Amino acid sequence: MTAARPTIVATCGGLNPGSWTDAVYGPLLLHAIELARVEGRAPRVAHLNTAGGDQRSIEGTELEAARAAGVDASHIRFFPHPNIEHLREHVLSQDVIWVSGGSLVNLLAVWRAHGLDAILAEAWRAGVVLAGGSAGALCWHSGGTTASFGPQISAVADGLRLLPGSLGVHYDSDPNRRIAHQAAIAAGTIPSGYALDEGVGLVYEDASLVDVVAERAGQYAWRVDAADGVVDETRVTPRLLADAVPSPSPTDQPSYQEA
């Protein structure tokens, strides 16, 4: 089966540290798979690590985590060249596309150069769940704030625009991001939208927000609006997913999750 409606899960999550393996699929990633409504076979999840430069060392960790979760996983690479001849067919055959973090700007440029942006939009309309963490959450929106150009957080306004509004990530773990995100919205560089603490995700059907979820207690999403240059920030309490942990841990985010 496919998702009931075109679905996107935008998160600050993904892989979590494992006990018997280096990493496991975290509750946010597992929730994206659940929304794909797969029955009678292993879910098919394609990992895209474009934002991190398609690091091969990450792939082994992801494949091990996928096996532990009973998932049929694959990787779509663009460095040094595409690893899949029939890209559209492969993407449309998946249940979930999971996009990991790294450089949002580089991700968008590479995807557009290879036509993946249009393929992903088609897959979304066909019921493939699009999901990801950090840059893999920002990319679906109209714009957001990112460290793609260096340590100073910058606004990017040319996202894929499958979702309206902007997104900010790592809102609680990097105080510079909150300051920069609010400033970009106040200046009108990016539109109003949401921001995410670590371990929180937004679930969209079509282009409408239908759920806010978390894999950690005590974490929040934030609605960030501005009028006449004045920012109004509203805390949104998420619904805790199964297996949520009591409190955040700084070791829970792999290094390649930076957006």
Active site residues: 134, 170
Both tokens of residue 39?
Answer: 């029955």
> Which segments of the chain does DSSP mark as H helices, in order?
27-35, 56-69, 87-92, 104-114, 116-126, 135-138, 175-186
* Phi and psi angles of residue 138, each rounded to the nearest 5 degrees, phi first: -60, -35
Q: Provide the 3-class DSSP secondary structure of residue 108.
A: helix
**216 close to 196: Cβ distance less than 8 angstroms:** no
**181 close to 168: Cβ distance less than 8 angstroms:** yes
**198 close to 6: Cβ distance less than 8 angstroms:** no
In terms of Cβ atoms closer than 10 Å to its own Cβ (0-12, 13-18, 19+), residue 254 is buried
**170 close to 198: Cβ distance less than 8 angstroms:** yes
DSSP state of 198: T
Both tokens of residue 155?
Answer: 């606004």
